[in-house]
Structure 1
Amino acid sequence: MGNWRVLAWAGGGVHGAVYQAVPVDIERATPGALKLALIPRDPRFAREVELLSRVHHPNLPSLRDSGIWQHPGGTLHPFLVMDWVDGAPLYDWAQRHRPSSQQVLRLLAHLARALQALHAQGCLHRDVKGDNVLVRHSDSLALLTDLGSGRYPDAATLTPGTLPPGTPAYRSPEACLFELQFFRDPKAHYSAQPADDLYALGVTAYRLVTGEYPELGEPVRDEAGTWHLAGLASPAPLTLNPRVDVQLNALILRMLSLRPEQRGTAEELAEALEQAARSTNPSSLPRSLEAADMHAQAPAESSPTPSSIERAGHPARAQPWQFRLAAAAALLPLLVLGTLLWRGPLLTFQMGRARLNDGGTTGLGDKAVPTSAVAAPIPSTPGGPTEDTPPEVLPGQRRPDAKGRCARPQQTPLNGGCWIKTPLAREECDTLKGSMFKGTCYLPVPHHERQPTSHPVRNP
Structure 2
Amino acid sequence: MDIADSEVAPQSPATDTPQLSDRYQILSTLGAGGMGVVYLAEDRKLHRRVAVKRLKADAASDNAHQRIQQEARLLAQLNHPNIVALHDVLEDTLDNGGRSVALVMEYIEGTTLRAWMRERTPNLQQKLSLLMQICQGLQQAHDLGIIHRDLKSDNILIAENAKGEPVAKITDFGIAKSQQLDEQTLTAENQLAGTITAMSPEQILGKALDARSDLFSLGTIAYELLTGSRPFGKNDTGALAMAHRVTNDPHTPPQQAWAGIPEPLAILLDKLLAKDPAMRPQSAQIVYQGFALLHKQGLEAESEDYTATLTDLFTHHKVKSRRRWQRALAVVAAALVLSTGGYWGWKEFTRLEPQYIAVMPVEINGEIRGEENAKALTKTMVRQALMNSVSQLKASALVSFEPKEGMDFEAQLQKLKDKGVTDALFAQLECAEIRCNIEIQRLAPQNSYIKQQQGFTFLTDKAQEAQYRTSNSAAKLFAPAYQRGDPSLATMSDDDYKRYLDVLSRMEAKELGENDLNDLFTLSNRYPRNIYIYQGLSDTAARLFVLHNQKEHIELALRALDRGEEQGVDKSITYRLKLLLYSLSDYSDQYQDLVKRLEEMKMPAAELMYQRARYFYRSGKYADAVDSSLNAYKLNPSAASLYLAAISQGAMGNYDASRNTLKQLTEKHPKHWSSFSALGVIELELGNLEAAEKAITSIPEPLRGWRTKSNLAVAYMLRKNYQSADRQFRAVLQVSENDVPTLGQLAEVKLALGDQKEAMKIFTKVIEITNGTSNQELRRYRALAHANVGNIEEAISIITDLVRVAPDDTYHKHAASQIYALAQEWRSASVYVAELLAQGMSTAWFKLPAHQQLCTQPLASTPVKSAICD
Q: Distance in 1 between matches of 2:269 and 2:191?
A: 24
Q: Per-residue displacement from partner, 1:70-94 (whole Å, max 9, x unpaired)?
A: 4455543100111100111112112
Match of 2:265 among 248, 252, 258: 248
Would the alpha carbon gap of residues 207 and 85 (structure 1) be closer, same or farther in structure 2, given more than 3 Å must change? same
Q: How far apart, CA to CA, are the structure 2 residues paired with 1:124 and 1:238?
A: 30
Alpha-carbon deviation of 1:61? 0.8
Q: Could you tell me the TM-score, scaled by structure 1's length?
A: 0.53
Map of 1:125 onto structure 2: 148
- Per the alignment, residue 141 of structure 1 pairs with 167
1:24-35 correspondence to structure 2 within 5 Å: 24-26=44-46, 29-35=47-53
Q: Distance in 2 between matches of 1:104 and 1:68?
A: 39
**What is the aligned partner in structure 2 of residue 332 from structure 1?**
none
Matches within 5 A, 1:163-242: 165-176=193-204, 179=205, 189-215=206-232, 233-242=250-259
Amino acid at match of 1:165: A
Match of residue 279, structure 1, among 282, 297, 301: 297
Alpha-carbon shift at residue 199 of structure 1 (Å): 0.3
Equivalent pair of 1:203/1:213 in contact (CA under 8 Å): yes
Question: SS where residue 213 of structure 1 aligns?
Answer: coil
Tell me by how many angstroms 1:244 deviates: 3.4
* Structure 1 residue 151 corresponds to structure 2 residue 177: yes
Q: Any conservation in 2 of the 1:59–1:143 contact (CA below 8 Å)?
A: yes
Deviation at 1:283, TM superposition (A): 5.1
1:11-410 to structure 2, matched below 5 A, reads 11-26=31-46, 29-38=47-56, 39-40=59-60, 42-72=65-95, 74-138=97-161, 139-152=165-178, 153-155=180-182, 156-161=184-189, 165-176=193-204, 179=205, 189-215=206-232, 233-264=250-281, 265-281=283-299, 284=303
Structure 1 Cα separation of the partners of residues 52 and 245 of structure 2: 44
Distance 1:232 1:102, change over 3 A: farther
Q: Distance in 2 between matches of 1:11 and 1:172?
A: 27
CA contact (8 A) 2:52 2:102 kept: yes
The one-letter code of the counterpart of 2:174 is G
Q: Is the alpha carbon distance of 1:92 and 1:230 closer, same or farther for their aligned partners in structure 2, counting shifts above 3 Å? A: closer
The CA deviation string for residues 3-54 of structure 1, in whole angstroms up to 9 with x for no partner, is: 211111111221111111122334xx11000111112262111111111111
State the AA in 1 paired with 2:259.
P
3-state secondary structure, aligned to 1:261? helix
1:201 Cα deviation from its structure 2 partner: 0.7
CA distance in 2, matches of 1:191, 1:163: 16
User: Equivalent residue for 1:363?
Assistant: none
Distance 1:97 1:247, change over 3 A: farther
- 1:4 and 1:252 mapped to 2: Cα distance? 43
Give, as a single letter, the amino acid of the residue that structure 1 aligns with 2:26. V
- Residues 47 and 145 of structure 1, relative CA distance in 2, 3 Å threshold: same
Shift in Å, 1:205? 1.6
Letter in 2 for 1:144: I
1:60 Cα deviation after fit: 0.5
Aligned 8 A contact 1:251 1:273 in 2: no
| Higher mean C-alpha deviation, range 134-143 or range 237-246 | 237-246
Deviation of 1:150 after TM superposition, in Å, equals: 0.1
Q: Which runs of 5+ in 2 are unaligned?
A: 1-19, 234-243, 306-870
Deviation of 1:229 (Å): 9.9
Distance in 2 of aligned mates of 1:201 and 1:230: 16
| Contact in 2 for aligned 1:11/1:18 (Cα 8 Å) | yes
Contact 1:101 1:245 in 2 (8 A): no
Separation in structure 1 between the aligned mates of residue 267 and residue 73 of structure 2, nearest angstrom: 36
1:101 touches 1:248 (CA, 8 Å); kept in 2? no
The one-letter code sitting in structure 2 at the alignment partner of 1:271 is: Q
**Whole-Å Cα distance in 1 between the matches of residues 27 and 245 of structure 2?**
53
TM (norm. structure 2) is 0.29
Structure 1 residues 270 and 193, CA gap change in structure 2 (3 angstroms): same
Q: Unaligned 5+ residue runs, structure 1?
A: 180-188, 217-226, 287-460
Aligned-residue offset at 1:137:
3.0
Q: In structure 1, what residue type is equivalent to 2:202?
A: E
In structure 2, how many angstroms separate the alpha carbons of the residues matched to 1:230 and 1:159?
21
For 2:137 and 2:38, locate their aligned partners in 1 and report how far apart those are by CA, in whole Å.
Answer: 22
Does 47-56 or 97-106 show the bigger shift?
97-106
Which one-letter code corresponds to 1:239 in the other structure?
A: Q
Superposed CA offset, 1:309-364 (max 9, x none): xxxxxxxxxxxxxxxxxxxxxxxxxxxxxxxxxxxxxxxxxxxxxxxxxxxxxxxx
The one-letter amino acid paired with 1:269 is V
Whole-angstrom CA distance in 2 between matches of 1:279 and 1:86? 31
1:232/1:258 contact within 8 Å kept: no
After superposition, the CA RMSD in angstroms is 2.9
- Aligned mates of 2:111, 2:195 — CA distance in 1: 20
Write the distance in 1 (CA, Å) between the matches of 2:80 and 2:31: 25
Q: Is the 8 A contact 1:101 1:244 kept in 2?
A: no
Deviation sequence 1:207-264 (CA, Å, 0-9, x none): 2233433239xxxxxxxxxx99998533322321235343332222221122312321
Amino acid at match of 1:167: T
With over 3 angstroms needed to count, the CA separation of the structure-2 counterparts of 1:247 and 1:228, relative to structure 1, is: closer
Alignment CA distance shift 1:81-1:283 (3 Å): farther
Superposed, 1:427-442 pairs within 5 Å as none
The offset of 1:114, in angstroms, is: 1.3
Cα distance in 1 between the residues matched to 2:194 and 2:158? 21
Structure 1 pair 174–74 and aligned structure 2 pair: CA distance change class (3 A):
closer
Distance 2:254 2:67 in 1: 35
**CA contact under 8 A between 2:51 and 2:106: conserved in structure 1?**
yes
- CA separation in 2, counterparts of 1:44 and 1:256? 28
Q: Judge conservation of contact 1:127–1:150 (CA < 8 Å) in 2.
A: yes
Tell me, in whole angstroms, the C-alpha distance in 2 between the residues paired with 1:278 and 1:249.
17
SS of equivalent to 2:29: strand
Aligned pair in 2 of structure 1 residues 67, 285: CA closer, same or farther (>3 Å)? farther
What amino acid is the match of 1:284?
S
Cα gap change, 1:7 to 1:253, in 2 (>3 Å): same
* Structure 2 letter corresponding to 1:249: A
- State the SS of the aligned residue for 1:158: coil
Name whichever structure is richer in helix by fraction.
2
CA deviation after TM superposition for structure 1 residue 128, in Å: 0.6
- The 3 A distance-change label for structure 1 pair 190 and 235 is closer
Q: Tell me: higher relative CO, structure 1 or 2? Use CA pairs within 8 A at least 6 residues apart.
A: 1
Letter in 2 for 1:259: D
